[in-house]
Structure 1
Amino acid sequence: MIEITEGNLLEAPVGALVNTVNTVGVMGKGIALQFKQAYPQMFRVYQQACKAGEVQLGKMQVFDLGGLAGGPRWIINFPTKAHWRTASRLVDIETGLQDLIATVKQLNIQAIALPPLGCGHGGLNWSQVRPLIESAFDTLPDVRVLLFGPGPAPTPETMPNRTDKPKMTIGQAALIGLMDRYLKGLLDPFISLLEIHKLLYFLQAAGQPLRLQYEAREFGPYAKNLRQVLIRMESHYTQGYGDGNDAPAKNIELLPGAVEEAEAFLQEDATTRQRMERVTDLIEGYEDPYGLELLSSVHWVMAHDPEARLSATVAAQGVQAWNTRKRRTLKTEPLGKVWQRLTDKGWIADREF
């Protein structure tokens, strides 16, 4: 019996949960990241199985949780794509469903929850995938199937996270400290993901060796590898990154105790604290997504174009040539003021970041 439902799949009252995975050992976004954080031991076993070549398209990888504390007994990793970078294929969903049905029979599973296999990051159409799932489970009419269609992720605070709390690092402490200083000037307890990217961009530009790999994106400098830091910090020091989706407007908050721990960690690190003060001084009066996009975009152009370091006009033209959106929203006058601010405060870059 199939029931179409919505909500948090990981809280489904069933004996088996189906997770969608690739065959290279990465659970970086979406439902897979939720499973990784909720069941870290399962992830380690899955990762080792991938290294051994045991996770293959069309074959289920099963992890036995033991059914303790009334939770599910089984996690069934369903490979929906070979590599996390590639798209899912309907043929792999079809062959995988055959093996899933065989697995359900073998383990005598009476109730199971499935996500929209291969949809979302996989790129498949739910209108094509749903009939395949329904047809496959027609052969098991006595099994209760909770089928979760495409939809928004659960709120971050409802996502279970059983990963070990990471040790505090200089980079994490600096991020927490900058977030705290930034939030003190706002009425909102949240800071957007876009703003976090920009704060750390300037901290790195100030000389902090964060090893963040910034590149030019729609809203200004963006570091793809920052997501790994935010995943580690989620539910331990910060909350809001959730399933790893990189929506710029995603709100992230500091958890109780994080600021105190970060301050204690940085107490003897005068150099990092001085760099943080320099960033705080620069962004004063620009504490919103628009303001930080202005500052970081002009700085980026100055860092990559020697002529822009000497001319506000050249810098403004460089920002407006970035993309259509910037040309429409970032006007010449405020860009010129930001150029002057960066110049007066000694942020003219003599190298690329």
Structure 2
Amino acid sequence: MKEITGNIWDYLGKAVICVTTNGHMTRKGEAVLGRGCARQARERFPDLPARLGALLSEGGNHVHVIGDGLVSFPVEESPWANPDLRLIRRSAEELRASADRGGWTLVIVPRPGCGGGGLSWEEVRPLLADLFDDRFIVISAA
């Protein structure tokens, strides 16, 4: 795992980008992408809430390949919940398995749960370190 500072969107089209998410959907079946990189992704891809909502409805709150080079990375069950360290670990395991299956060579991951979620990187980093090899770059805002 490599760690850098920068803009996650500079890697769009060059790497798989993880969008930290929750498992909540609106009554219309759209994923709630309210803050952080999820909100930024929603602004860039207006159909993203509907696409992710369909995946959540079908497969639950798990890592999903959304399209456009984006992958969901669940960190909490709802927008009102605190990030869950067990869910972050499970998401990291699922992301690693997806990268192995898909032959992904570069995966950009924001510090999960550490932005709006309020977790410290010191408590999250150990959950990822043994799973993420050099294909994974954890990015924090510059």
Please, what TM-score do these two structures have when normalized by structure 2?
A: 0.85
Whole-angstrom CA distance in 1 between matches of 2:129 and 2:11: 19
Whether the aligned pair in 2 keeps the contact of 1:21 and 1:80 (CA below 8 Å) is: yes
Q: State yes or no: 1:62 paired with 2:65.
A: yes
Equivalent positions of 1:110-259 (< 5 A) are 110-138=105-133, 141=134, 143=135, 145-149=136-140, 151=141
Q: Residue 95 of structure 2 is aligned with which of 95, 100, 103?
A: 100
Higher strand proportion (structure 1 or 2): 2
The answer to whether residue 37 in structure 2 is matched with residue 31 in structure 1 is yes
Does the 8 Å CA contact 1:55/1:79 hold for their aligned counterparts?
no
Q: Which moved more, 1:39-48 or 1:15-24?
A: 39-48
- For 2:7, the aligned partner's letter is N
Superposed displacement of residue 39, structure 1: 1.9
The alpha-carbon deviation at position 30 of structure 1 amounts to: 1.3
Which segments of 5 or more consecutive residues in structure 1 lack a partner in the other structure? 66-73, 153-353
Q: Give the CA RMSD over aligned residues.
A: 1.8
For the residues of structure 2 that align with 1:31 and 1:43, how far apart are their CA atoms? 13
Q: Kindly provide the CA deviation profile for residues 31-50 of structure 1, in whole angstroms up to 9, marking residues without a partner as x.
A: 11001111223332012333
Question: What whole-Å deviation, never above 9, does each CA across 1:241-292 have from its counterpart, x for those lacking one?
Answer: xxxxxxxxxxxxxxxxxxxxxxxxxxxxxxxxxxxxxxxxxxxxxxxxxxxx
Q: TM-score, length-normalised on structure 1?
A: 0.36
How much has 1:53 moved relative to structure 2? 5.1
Give how far 1:105 is off. Answer: 0.7
The CA deviation at 1:109 is: 0.3
Partner residue in 2 for 1:6: 5
3-state secondary structure, aligned to 1:21: strand
**2:139 aligned partner, one-letter code:** F
In structure 2, runs of 5+ residues without a counterpart are: 25-30
Shift of 1:119: 1.2
2:53 match: secondary structure: helix
**Which structure has the larger Rg?**
1
Q: Secondary structure at the match of 2:66?
A: strand
| 1:34 counterpart letter in structure 2 | Q
Q: Please give the per-residue CA displacement for 1:92-131, whole angstroms capped at 9, x wherever unaligned.
A: 1111111110000111100110000111222222111122
Structure with the higher fraction of residues in helix conformation: 1
More deviation in 39-48 or 101-110?
Answer: 39-48
SS in 2 for 1:120: coil
Instruction: Give the equivalent residue in structure 2 for 1:80.
Output: 75
- What is the number of equivalent residue pairs in this alignment? 135
Q: What amino acid does structure 2 have at the position aligned with 1:127? A: E
- SS of the residue corresponding to residue 87 of structure 2 reads helix
Question: Quick one: distance in 1 between partners of 2:109 and 2:10?
Answer: 12
Percent identity, aligned pairs only, is 23
